[in-house]
Amino acid sequence: MFLEQAINGITLGGIYAIVALGYTLVFGVLGIINMAHGEIFMFGAFVGMLLVSKAGVPLPVAFLGAIAAAASMGLLLDRFALRPLRKRPGASHLASLISTIGVSILLENAAHRIFGAGNHLFETPFSDIRFQAGSVTVYLVQAAILGISLLMMAGLSLWLSRTRAGKALRATAENLETAGLLGVDTNRMITATVVIASAMGGVAGVLVGMAFNFINNRIGLSMGLKGLAIIIFGGMGSVYGAMAGGLILGLSETFVVAYGPAGYRDAIAFVTIIVVLLVRPQGLFGQAVSDGKP
Amino acid sequence: MPVEWLNPYHLQVGSFLLINVLLGVSIYITLSTGQLSLGNAGFMCIGAYTAALLSTKCGLPIPAGIALGAVLAGSAGVLVGLPSLRLSGVYLAIATLGFGEVIRAVAVNWETLTGGAVGVAAVPQMGRVLLANLADAGFAPGDAGLRPNQFIALSVFLILLAVTALVIAFFLRLDRTRVGRAYAAIRLDEKAAEAMGIPVTYYKVLAFSQGAMVSGLAGALFAHSTSYISPEDFTYHRAVEILVYAVFGGSGHLLGSVFGAAALTLLPEALRFVSDYRHMLYGLLLVLMMIYRPQGVIDPPLLRRLHRARAEEAP
C-alpha cells in the first residue's frame, strides 16, 4: 500500500515537475511569470487527446502533435503578448503578468467554446497493462510517465549545461544586456525559451491525460496553479528546484489523499507557498539577493 | 398607481454594478501602493460567508453582520499582508492568489460550517427584510406607488448606492491626506519613499487591509443582495474580473477603477452577444490594454483635461 502510494506520488510528481519546468525556464530568462503556461499545457493535452482517442494514431505521434501545437502557441504568445511589452521602455514588471493572465483567460474560455465544459476521455492503448512485483502493482502507464519525465529532465539539464544554445540561454538568463554584448541574439533566445517551455507544457499535457484518463478545460488552471506553487517552493528560475519541488508536491498530495483529509489536496500547494514565502522566500534552491527580498 | 418604468431587473443590474464598483475600489487601493493583489476574491469570500452565516445561524441583524464581515476580511488582510508585503510584486500576486485558493478550499471542505460546495442558501435579502420591518410598522409599498418587488429591488439599490458613494467619497478624500500621499510616494519609488522617512511597511499593510476590508464589505453586501452564495462565486476568475476592472478603467486614479467596473458590468447587458464571450473579451482586453494603454482608459492627465475643459465652459 505504502509503496504503491509512493509510486503514484512519484508519477504525479514527475508531471508536476515538467509543468513547473515550463514556468521556471521562462522566469529564469525573462523574469516574468507566464500565467498562460497552464492553458498552453491544456491545449497540448486536448491535441493529444484528439489524436489518440479520435484519430487513433499511436502515442508517440500524439506527443509530437501536442508538442507542435503547444510550441506554436508559445510562439504566438511571445509574439503578441510579450514582445510588444519588451519593446516599451519602463513597462512595469506587473504588465507582463497581467498580459499573460489575459491570454490564460482567453485560452481557457476558448477551450470551453471549442471542447465544452465536460470531461473528455483520454484513452491510452496500454492502460490495462500492469506488472506485479511482490505485492506492488505498477501500471505500464506509470512507468512510461516516469520514464518520459525523467528523460525530459535529463535532456533539459544536458542541453542547458553542455550545448552552445543552452549556454547562450543561461547567459541570457544571467544578464540580458551582457549576453547581448557578447553576441547572443537575446531576442531569439527569449522566443526560443518561451517556445521550449511551451513544448514541455505540451508533453506534460499528454502525460496528464495518460495519468488521469480524462481531461477538461479546467486542468490548465489547476495544474498551472500547482506549477506556480512549485517554482516558488523550489526557488524561482531554479531548474533543479522545479524538479525536486514537483516530486515533493506529488508525493505529499498523494499521501494526504491516502491518509489525510482528501478534500484539502488542492490547498496543500498553496499552504506550502505561503509557508515557504514566510520562512525561506528565495525557495528551496533559490539564491537570496542582496536586499533580502526575492 | 405603480411606477411602471421602474424595472426590478434593471435595478438588480444596478446593484451588481455597485458591488463591482466596490470591488474595483478595493483593488485600486492596494494598487495605489504599487502592490498587485489577486486575493480580493478570497477576502470577498470571507466577508460574504461571515455576513451570511451570522445572519442565518446566529440571527444577527443584517447591518451588524455586514460590518463584522468587512472587519473580519480587513483583519485577514492584516494577517496576510503583514508577512507577504515583504515580498515584491510578482511574489505577492502569487501568494495572494494562493491565499484566495486556500480560502475557497476551506469554504468547500468545512461542510458543517459553510455548507460545502452547495453554499449557504436563504440568506436574508436586505430589501425583503426591510419590507417586512416596514410592513410591521404599517407601511405598504403601495403607499409609495410601488409594487413589492419594485420596492425590494429599489431599496437594495439605494442602500448599495449610499454605501458605495460613502466608500468612494472616503477614498477620494484619503487621496488628499497624508496617507494618500504616502501611498502615491510608495507607488512611485519605494526606496525613495523609505528614504524620505515614510514607514513603507506600515502604509503597505494599511493599503492592503483597506482593500481587503472593502472586498469583504462588497462580499457581505453581495450575500445579502442575492440571498445565495457558494464557493463558485469566489473563484480565481472573480479575482481576475476584479483585476480587469482596474486595468481597463485605469489604476492611476480611483475613478478609473470605478469606471472600469461600471463599464464592464454594463457591457454584457448592453450587447447580448458579448455576455457569452465575456471572459474571452476580458482576456483580450487585458492583453490589449497592457500593450496600448497600460495605465487604463482613465488616467490623471485625462481627468485634468476634462476638469480644465469643464472650467473653461463655465467661467
In tens, the pLDDT along B217-229 reads 999 999 998 888 8
Distance from CA of A88 to the nearest CA of B (A): 9
CA atoms lying within 13 Å on the CB side of residue B251: 30
Query: Comparing A258-267, B38-47, B167-176, B231-240, which segment has the lowest mean pLDDT?
Result: A258-267
Is there a domain that residue B200 lies in?
yes
pTM, two decimal places: 0.85
In angstroms, the CA B236 to CA B38 distance is 8
Which of 1.25.40, 1.20.58, 1.10.3470, 4.10.240 would CATH assign to domain A2-279?
1.10.3470
Of A102, A271, A281, the CB nearest to B283: A102
In angstroms, the CA B175 to CA B59 distance is 38
pLDDT for residue B12: 87
Contact A209, A215 (CB under 8 A): yes
Between B258 and B6, where is the model more confident? B258
Is there a domain that residue B289 lies in?
no
pLDDT digits 0-9 by tens, B119-134: 888 888 888 888 888 8
Query: Comparing A265-269, B36-40, B100-104, B160-164, which segment has the lowest mean pLDDT?
Result: A265-269
Cβ-proximal residues to A199 (8 Å cutoff; 6+ apart), any chain: A67, A70, A71, A74
What's the complex ipTM? Answer: 0.81
Query: C-alpha grid cell for residue A134?
Result: 511482490
**Residue B164 — very low, low, confident or very high, per pLDDT cuts 50/70/90?**
very high
**Segments making up each domain of chain A, as ranges:** 2-279
**Amino acid type, A250:** G
Distance from CA of B279 to the nearest CA of A (A): 7
**Residue A284 — very low, low, confident or very high, per pLDDT cuts 50/70/90?**
low
Please report where in the chains the cell 525559451 appears, as a residue.
A193
Contact B280 A109 (CB under 8 A): yes
pLDDT digits 0-9 by tens, B284-305: 888 888 888 887 888 888 888 8
Classify A32 in phi/psi space as left (phi over 0), alpha (psi -120 to 50) or beta. beta
Give the torsion through C-alpha atoms of A158, A160, A166, A171, to 10 deg. -150
| Chain centre distance of CA B225 | 14
Is there a domain that residue B20 lies in?
yes
Query: C-alpha grid cell for residue A79?
Result: 509574439
Contact A205, A12 (CB under 8 A): no
Cβ-proximal residues to A68 (8 Å cutoff; 6+ apart), any chain: A202
Cβ-proximal residues to B143 (8 Å cutoff; 6+ apart), any chain: none
Tally of helices (H runs) and strands (E runs) in chain B? 15, 0
Cα radius of gyration (chain B): 20
Contact B285 A104 (CB under 8 A): no
Chain B residue whose CA is closest to A266: B105
The yes-or-no verdict on residue A218 having pLDDT over 50 is yes
Mutation for testing the A interface, residue in B101, B287, B288, B289 having most A CBs under 10 Å: B287
pLDDT for residue A294: 37
**Residue B314 — very low, low, confident or very high, per pLDDT cuts 50/70/90?**
low
Query: Comparing A162-166, B97-101, B137-141, which segment has the lowest mean pLDDT?
Result: B137-141
Q: Coil, strand, or helix at residue B234?
A: helix
Angle at B203 between CA B199 and CA B209, to 5 degrees: 150
Number of domains in chain B: 1
Chain A residue whose CA is closest to B289: A99
Cβ-proximal residues to B11 (8 Å cutoff; 6+ apart), any chain: B150, B153, B154, B156, B157
| Average pLDDT over all residues of chain A | 83
pLDDT digits 0-9 by tens, A73-94: 999 999 888 888 887 766 667 7
Chain A residue whose CA is closest to B280: A106
pLDDT digits 0-9 by tens, A122-174: 877 777 777 777 777 788 888 888 888 888 888 888 888 888 888 888 888 88
In angstroms, the CA A182 to CA B96 distance is 39
Most confident of A144-148, A175-179, B171-175: B171-175
Of A99, A106, A278, the CB nearest to B83: A278
Closest by CA to B53, choosing from B234, B238, B223, is B223
> Residue B138 is part of which domain span?
8-234
